[in-house]
Structure 1
Amino acid sequence: MVAFDSAEYLDVIGPLETFATAAAVTSDRQAYSLAIAAREIRPLSASSGLAILPTVDYAALAEADTVLVAGGAGIEAASQDAALLEALRHAARGSCRIASVCTGAFVLAAAGLLDGRRAATHWNWCARLAERYPAVTVEADPIFLVDRGIWTSAGVTAGIDMTLAMIERDHGPNLAMRTAQELVMFRRRPGGQSQFSAELKLQATPHRPIRTLQEWVLENLAADLSVEALAARAAMSARNFARVFQRETQMTPARFVEQARLQKARELLELTARGLEEVAAACGYGSADVLTRAMQRRLGVAPIDYRRRFGAIWNEPSEGAKDHARH
């Protein structure tokens, strides 16, 4: 993690603690080793006044598998740090995964690493990033973006969402979910997502029998999820089940199933290279055509266009598909 004077403390600590938690909950205690890099190894003062203690200098970036750049009030000076910009360019020429948190995108842009790419940053800085670096396509909506090996995220806590996506990419969805649970936070939201999530609805449901059924639905989206089938699984009549489900979740069973299937489809489109028919089957849609109609109706975008915009796999270069060990 690259830090500097007046960096945003949460931009630095949020992703690092997320990686550290992932390493702690997996059997592979060396899954991630962490360091904070700065121009000089001396205490830095975050924008909040809290101290940041770097342990390596910019030369260490050349040996890293992942380099993240924090944002914060000190971003203008960091964007003019020639040594930092050259160290980032050097790291990017190798197999290093480069990322920014919040306004850290300005540093990547200053290094020329975002030219011809799409990028995300804090919503309040999108216009400035686009105006200052016209070669960058700035996206105001996504939580995070991946474009040909470069990751950028929106403001502050979105860096944690991006980190969970990296963990999922490196070690699979189970570790990402366990990490989110350990941090007592919502499961990672896909990059193109803002507030839509069946999992968030699930976590707000205190009624244990309904919650248990919802958990089963999320794991069995290709099953028969009709009201009758779900009612039978809950040992209720269809009428009583629909009434109880509506009361406890503020939505119909059919609406929950629709949201859950669409959420899973978005995740598969973002994080895998599966074909549309395979994605549709995994999510319980009868065909790619049915999936397309559902996404067009609810999101106003076709699956292939959604993947082009938000897909981590789709936007990686061919060498990015290699199985890198992230240490």
Structure 2
Amino acid sequence: MSYFLPMLPPASATPRHVVFLAFERFQVLDLAGPMQVFLSASEHARNVATGLPIDYRVSVVSSGPNRVKGSLSLAIDAEPLPSALMPRTTVMVVGGKGVEAASQDLLLIDWLRSHVDEAERICSVCNGAFLLARAGLLAGKRATTHWLDCDNLQRNFRDVTVDRDAMYVRDGKIWTSAGISAGIDLALALVANDHGDEAAAVTARRMVLYVKRPGNQSQFSEFIETIDHDKAGAFAELHQWILGNIRRDLSVPVLAAQAGMSERTFARKYRRLIGVPPAETVKRLRADTARHHLRTSTLPLKTVAARCGFGSVEQMNRVHLKFYGLTSRTLRDIG
């Protein structure tokens, strides 16, 4: 007599839940990018410590209608705000053009405030940080948001320490990220935190992403691409000229002359279009150029500093610490 044992389903790790909080006119990529990270991790990766498959359960909730309209003329089905959260739940608040109206939604804000202790983590993508701040969840904490919104966040919530350059910031159980693509970096960081670096690496490879961009990496790479292609007009050519003359005097009078404007008009128009003073752009481009030399050459630090227009190694080091949170020597060591 032969016996056939029933096939048992493969064991999996205890499920984790990710609840995305959406609102009218949310940014679709703020939702779709991180959500796909969790779904891809569940499909392809395993927990490093246990070897068990990863199990993220994702859902979308809203305080408004069950059909929430987002950007790109797309809409998504959403569930009502739950009265209680499942164990091991991460709440992820997306951003978008509707964030100002959402910040006045007392039902939504009260729900966030009342579930902060119950959630394992509460996160935001892009300007979703304003909803966390409105609920008082960022008081006394470090946080970030899209570079365009950093000044506004700091101005309206003075008890928040705004990190203007980080891709994402963790402060206790509160995680915040910069604009759009940084939400994917944040989600990968959460996967790594939950299941190990290799799980995040497997997920990133399946999605053809950078395996890991550290949270303290500057937002400026994304920033310079955006302004060159979408907003800057004639300033795109100026930025290329700056890169080609990075060791020269790049004061406002020099830049204004290159742009064919008076100093006052140039400074005003540049700040209005780009969102930062010209001197800030020069610092960032010098920092990025120096970082490239440090990673790709064996030139002495003093030579790199001189080639990039820094007055000294100490000045270069201060700028690298500001934008990347790392010293010039560390940037060289990590390659």
TM-score interval, smaller chain: 0.5 to 0.7
For 2:177, the equivalent position in structure 1 comes to: 153
What is the TM-score when the length of structure 1 is the normalising length? 0.60
For 1:221, the equivalent position in structure 2 comes to: none
Q: Taking structure 1 as reference, are residues 49 and 255 closer, same or farther at Cα in structure 2, changes over 3 Å only?
A: same
Q: Distance in 2 between matches of 1:92 and 1:193?
A: 28
Report how far residue 40 of structure 1 moved. 4.1
For 1:285, the equivalent position in structure 2 comes to: none
Segments of structure 2 that go 5 or more residues without pairing to the other structure are 1-19, 47-51, 222-291, 301-313, 327-335
Q: Taking structure 1 as reference, are residues 181 and 81 closer, same or farther at Cα in structure 2, changes over 3 Å only?
A: same
Report how far residue 194 of structure 1 moved. 2.9
- Identify which of 21, 31, 34 aligns with 1:2: 21
Which one is further off, 93-102 or 10-19? Answer: 93-102
Deviation per residue, 1:36-85 (Å, 9 max, x gap): 0111452111022111221x221256336100000001101111111111
Q: Distance in 2 between matches of 1:297 and 1:107?
A: 33
Report how far residue 124 of structure 1 moved. 0.5
For 2:240, the equivalent position in structure 1 comes to: none
1:10 partner amino acid = L
- Aligned pairs for 1:1-327 (under 5 A) are 1-27=20-46, 28-29=52-53, 31-40=55-64, 42-54=66-78, 56-59=79-82, 62-63=85-86, 65-194=89-218, 255=297, 299-300=320-321
Q: Distance in 2 between matches of 1:254 and 1:71?
A: 37
Q: Distance in 1 between matches of 2:320 and 2:116?
A: 34
Report how far residue 35 of structure 1 moved. 0.2
Q: Taking structure 1 as reference, are residues 30 and 297 closer, same or farther at Cα in structure 2, changes over 3 Å only?
A: closer
Question: Given that residues 165 and 220 in structure 2 are in contact (C-alpha distance below 8 angstroms), is that contact kept between their aligned partners in structure 1?
Answer: no
Question: Given that residues 21 and 61 in structure 2 are in contact (C-alpha distance below 8 angstroms), is that contact kept between their aligned partners in structure 1?
Answer: yes
Q: Distance in 1 between matches of 2:219 and 2:154?
A: 25
Q: Taking structure 1 as reference, are residues 41 and 25 closer, same or farther at Cα in structure 2, changes over 3 Å only?
A: farther
Task: Give the 3-state SS of the residue equivalent to 1:160 in structure 2.
Answer: helix
Q: Distance in 1 between matches of 2:113 and 2:321?
A: 37
Question: Given that residues 166 and 219 in structure 2 are in contact (C-alpha distance below 8 angstroms), is that contact kept between their aligned partners in structure 1?
Answer: no
Q: Distance in 1 between matches of 2:85 and 2:94?
A: 18
Task: Give the 3-state SS of the residue equivalent to 2:82 in structure 1.
Answer: helix
Q: Distance in 1 between matches of 2:75 and 2:220?
A: 36
Deviation per residue, 1:100-138 (Å, 9 max, x gap): 000000000000000111110001111111111111111
Question: Given that residues 62 and 87 in structure 1 are in contact (C-alpha distance below 8 angstroms), is that contact kept between their aligned partners in structure 2?
Answer: no
Task: Give the 3-state SS of the residue equivalent to 1:59 in structure 2.
Answer: coil
Segments of structure 1 that go 5 or more residues without pairing to the other structure are 198-249, 259-292, 307-327
**Structure possessing the higher radius of gyration over alpha carbons:** 2
Question: Given that residues 42 and 53 in structure 1 are in contact (C-alpha distance below 8 angstroms), is that contact kept between their aligned partners in structure 2?
Answer: yes
Q: Distance in 1 between matches of 2:165 and 2:194?
A: 25
Q: Taking structure 1 as reference, are residues 153 and 195 closer, same or farther at Cα in structure 2, changes over 3 Å only?
A: closer
Q: Taking structure 1 as reference, are residues 174 and 129 closer, same or farther at Cα in structure 2, changes over 3 Å only?
A: same
Task: Give the 3-state SS of the residue equivalent to 2:59 in structure 1.
Answer: coil
Report how far residue 192 of structure 1 moved. 0.1
